[in-house]
Chain A
Amino acid sequence: MIEAAGLTKRYGGLLAVDGLDLEVDHEVFGLLGPNGSGKTTTVLMFTTLLRPTAGTARVSGHDVLREAARVRERISYVPQDMAVDIKLTGRENVAFYAALYGVRSRDRVDEVLGVMDLAERADDRAGEYSGGMRRRLELAQALVHEPEVLFLDEPTIGLDVAGRRAIWTHITDLRRRGMTVFVTTHYMDEADRACDRVGIIAKGRLVAVDTPAALRHRLDGERITVRVDRPVTPFPVDGARLVVEETDHLVFHADDAAEAVPTVLAGLAAQGVRVRGLEVEAPTLDDVFLALAGRQDEGGAFDDRRFRTMLRRR
């Protein structure tokens, strides 16, 4: 549904997106990256709002440059700003987009309001809605013409826990109905739970694309910490590596901790060592993110003008 080849955007000396190659099929795809890494610029190119400097992108089978109108008919874009007309009612807000998309049926407006759990408050002004409801109202607007691809830029930013959960539930529901959802986010735990695949972008370069689980496994795997009552003679364990060896505890790295734990315990039992405690920690997507994209911006001076350029262009 989305194909990008060598997609590049340059602002003067700043390379905002650098040769992005990507294919997204019917799935929830999460684009993760630090501030200013090029997430929003990428979305703006996919949604035809920004001309790529080089490379090509096709969305729903149409070229974003040459067939921009076709692309716009088949997508919806929800920017992160939370833009709903607070002086209009929920229904008027949705009816406005329905009219602009040429959707004639009034039932369709009621239907999407119902899908987003806003039917009861449809005739209240959006100004009286909570943050979560406003975001759901934006989703209702975006869904009114049944788009093939939905672009969401930071859909859960500024929402409380319940609001976030509701948004992600709706997003995964949409995928189940066959929609492609392209979402950018800062929240690793949310991406981990809801996205089929994630891409990590840093300084405009896509540094990794995979399922959240596969990305987590790219780190040293899971950590197994075993507390013991006396020093242990090192011993080989299938599928695990001993990385820390202290008098009172050992740390193993394993690709699959569930399989390695019994072997570790058996090895210790063979030496007559009593195990006083055992802990398995899965690496989180945060760890992966920091390893791949993090700490690279430290050290350089904060460039105020460049920062503002990026904010403006986002």
Chain B
Amino acid sequence: MHPVLVYFVRDMRRWVRGRLNVYSTLIMPAAWLIFVGLALPTRFTDHYLDFIAPGILVLTMLSAGMQGGSSLIFDKILGFFNKFLALPSPREAILFGKILFITVRGLLQATVIMLLAVLLGATIFTPAMILFAYLVLVLFGVLLSAFSTAVALYVQDHDSYAAVNAVLSMPLFFTSSALMPYDVMPAWLATIARVNPVSFAIDLIRSFAAPPVAWTSLLGLVVIACLMVAVSSFLFRRVTV
């Protein structure tokens, strides 16, 4: 088995066997979908659930991805990471294992959210749409997990990591196009939202439901993801304890 898969299987087993984690990671996005998607009295769209479902999908991946670095933090604190670094398998395998694990975990959560959205009455999820949403979420997940795992490499304890995560996650979400379209945003917010990578992912999924598809956003996402993976690989290769 390839080292990347070996690391991935280890993390998956650990996650699945800690059952509470599995349930808890689903509650937050589900709450968003139900309480915000169904309850908010919006006027700019007659089907707010269809509008916000892509936003919640991306939020799910955003929180899964940003929180994912804590997996490496625990490996560091508990002494696993030092053992891994002394192994002959390439060090990037540790990084790619984490990227795979965090992204797959996010996709599983996103799947549950999609099912829930359909049950609640969302109409946009055609089979082609589902495939396209997965593609975007994979790209976005790789981008985020490469970033958060690299951050975890340089942060010493879990509290600091949680602080970094909190400072980045919420603003990224609220300054994106998740909750409202650009034309109802204040001008300053629209300016930020247009360059926010979180908006790229959301706009992409929405544009697939209402073409033309925003291919430039896709290109932007691919470029940022590649860049992030390249930088993280470089950092992992030269890491010392």
Residues of B within 8 A of A87 (CB): 13-14, 17-18
Which of these, A48, A75, A82, A96, contacts B79 with CB under 8 Å?
A: A82
CB–CB B88/A73 < 8 A: yes
Q: Say yes or no: is A131 at the interface (Cβ < 8 Å to chain B).
A: no
- Beta-carbon contacts under 8 Å, A48-86 to B: 48-51, 69, 72-73, 75-83, 85
- Beta-carbon contacts under 8 Å, B75-89 to A: 78-80, 82-89
CB–CB A77/B3 < 8 A: no
Whether A83 touches B13, Cβ cut-off 8 Å, given contacts A50-B240, A77-B86, is no
Which of these, B1, B3, B79, B156, contacts A79 with CB under 8 Å?
A: B79
Which of these, B13, B85, B156, contacts A49 with CB under 8 Å?
A: B85
CA distance A268 to B41 in the complex (A): 107
CB–CB A83/B241 < 8 A: no
- Whole-angstrom distance between the Cβ of A84 and the nearest chain B Cβ: 9
Residues of A within 8 A of B79 (CB): 79-83
Q: Say yes or no: is A17 at the interface (Cβ < 8 Å to chain B).
A: no
Residues of A within 8 A of B80 (CB): 83, 85
Q: Say yes or no: is B10 at the interface (Cβ < 8 Å to chain A).
A: yes
CB–CB B241/A100 < 8 A: no
Q: Say yes or no: is B6 at the interface (Cβ < 8 Å to chain A).
A: yes
CB–CB A313/B10 < 8 A: no
**B 1-29 binary contact with A (CB < 8 Å = 1; else 0):** 10100110010011001100000000000
Q: Say yes or no: is A194 at the interface (Cβ < 8 Å to chain B).
A: no
**A 26-58 binary contact with B (CB < 8 Å = 1; else 0):** 000000000000000000100111110000000
Q: Say yes or no: is A101 at the interface (Cβ < 8 Å to chain B).
A: yes
CB–CB A83/B240 < 8 A: no
- Whole-angstrom distance between the Cβ of B72 and the nearest chain A Cβ: 14
CA distance A313 to B89 in the complex (A): 23
- Whole-angstrom distance between the Cβ of A267 and the nearest chain B Cβ: 59
Which of these, A77, A92, A102, contacts B82 with CB under 8 Å?
A: A77
Q: Say yes or no: is A213 at the interface (Cβ < 8 Å to chain B).
A: no
CB–CB B78/A72 < 8 A: no
CA distance A239 to B147 in the complex (A): 71
CA distance A218 to B156 in the complex (A): 43
Q: Say yes or no: is A260 at the interface (Cβ < 8 Å to chain B).
A: no
Of all chain A residues, which has the CB nearest B2? A99
CA distance A49 to B84 in the complex (A): 10
Which of these, A44, A76, A101, contacts B241 with CB under 8 Å?
A: A44
CA distance A48 to B82 in the complex (A): 10
CA distance A87 to B86 in the complex (A): 23
- Whole-angstrom distance between the Cβ of B93 and the nearest chain A Cβ: 8
CB–CB A49/B6 < 8 A: no
Residues of B within 8 A of A47 (CB): 86
Q: Say yes or no: is A88 at the interface (Cβ < 8 Å to chain B).
A: yes
Q: Say yes or no: is A276 at the interface (Cβ < 8 Å to chain B).
A: no
Whether A85 touches B88, Cβ cut-off 8 Å, given contacts A49-B82, A49-B240, is no
Residues of A within 8 A of B18 (CB): 87
- Whole-angstrom distance between the Cβ of A303 and the nearest chain B Cβ: 19
CA distance A314 to B1 in the complex (A): 33
Residues of A within 8 A of B82 (CB): 44, 49, 77, 79, 81
CB–CB B78/A83 < 8 A: yes
Of all chain B residues, which has the CB nearest A99? B6
- Whole-angstrom distance between the Cβ of B184 and the nearest chain A Cβ: 47
Q: Say yes or no: is A312 at the interface (Cβ < 8 Å to chain B).
A: yes
Residues of A within 8 A of B86 (CB): 47-49, 72, 75-77
CB–CB A96/B6 < 8 A: yes
CA distance A225 to B215 in the complex (A): 92
CA distance A100 to B82 in the complex (A): 14
Of all chain A residues, which has the CB nearest B87? A100
Which of these, B7, B17, B241, contacts A313 with CB under 8 Å?
A: B241
Residue picked from B1, B13, B18, B82, most chain A C-beta under 10 Å? B82
Interface residues of B (CB under 8 A from A): 1, 3, 6-7, 10, 13-14, 17-18, 78-80, 82-89, 156, 240-241
- 21 A-B pairs, CB-CB below 8 angstroms? A47-B86, A50-B241, A75-B86, A77-B82, A77-B86, A79-B83, A81-B78, A82-B79, A83-B78, A83-B79, A85-B80, A87-B14, A88-B10, A96-B10, A99-B6, A100-B7, A100-B87, A100-B88, A102-B88, A102-B89, A313-B241
Interface residues of A (CB under 8 A from B): 44, 47-51, 69, 72-73, 75-83, 85, 87-88, 92, 96-97, 99-102, 312-314
Q: Which 6 A-B pairs have the closest CB atoms?
A: A81-B79, A83-B79, A77-B86, A72-B88, A73-B88, A87-B17
Known: A51-B240, A72-B87, A81-B79. 7 other contacts (CB 8 A): A49-B240, A75-B86, A88-B14, A92-B13, A96-B10, A100-B89, A101-B88
